[in-house]
Amino acid sequence: MDKAQKAKSFILYGDNQAQFELLSDADAGILIKAVFEYVNTGTVRDLPPVLQMAFSFIRSGLDRNATKYADICERRSEYGRRGGLAKANKSQQELANAAYSDNDNKTESENESKNESESESESDINNSPKAPSKGAKKDWPGFDSFYAAYPRHTGKAAALKAWNKLEPDQALQHQMLEALKKQKRLPQWADDNGRFIPHPATWLNGHRWEDEMEVKKIEDESIGQYAHLGITV
């Protein structure tokens, strides 16, 4: 965020609750502190993967609102340079007079300043942010956390393309990370220095996080294989 164009406040929306519901109270406290630090200083904290995903969703909304606020400041400056401020204030005053006809004693300059500030802040800054739509230029949030957790760093561009195509929400990203924790224990993932670990794009396109039942089956087979030797796996 550009400090020169940064507002004195920021907005959290009702749908941000989904990010906090998946966290413990302690982790939720860490997350909200990270949000404040980012808004006030522009610093992004080094967070665990799960918290980083939640932060990325909130951060995208903060960045969009900061951009809108900067655009408003720039437009105001441009109005002043072009001498258009008086015309804009006159139109705003006409609206104010129609809505508050009983307040004729207020001066024109007082109404212009108040109405311009309130209308631009409410209409341009407080619009609820939406998740990036398909085909948007920005990458879908959470990919960096997923890629860092994946044990094979191959074909990152293809993996990012598959990620953007999936557009996984917060709950699905959490499910993916949990599945990876289990699948990393698969014998074929551990053998031969991970030679048989699928590329991350293949894993995403194949919905391989849904293979959790296969992980359990292999673990059970491993236990049975060594049970007669008295070995615990």
Q: CA dist 232 to 75, 152, 225, Å?
A: 70, 28, 10
Segment 21-68, tens digit of pLDDT: 888 899 889 989 999 998 898 899 899 988 888 888 888 888 888 888
Instruction: Classify 155 in phi/psi space as left (phi over 0), alpha (psi -120 to 50) or beta.
Output: left
**pLDDT above 60 (res 102):** no
Q: Give the model's pLDDT for residue 176.
A: 93
Q: DSSP code of 122?
A: I
User: How many CB atoms neighbour CB 123 within 10 A?
Assistant: 11
Q: Is the model's pTM score more than 0.95? A: no
Q: Give the tokens for residue 87.
A: 């015309």
Segment 110-148, tens digit of pLDDT: 655 565 556 555 555 455 445 555 555 689 999 999 999
Q: Which amino acid is at 61?
A: G
Q: Give the model's pLDDT for residue 170.
A: 94
Q: Cβ(146)–Cβ(173) under 8 Å? A: yes
Beta carbons within 8 Å of 173's beta carbon, 6+ residues apart: 53, 142, 145, 146
Q: Which amino acid is at 98?
A: A
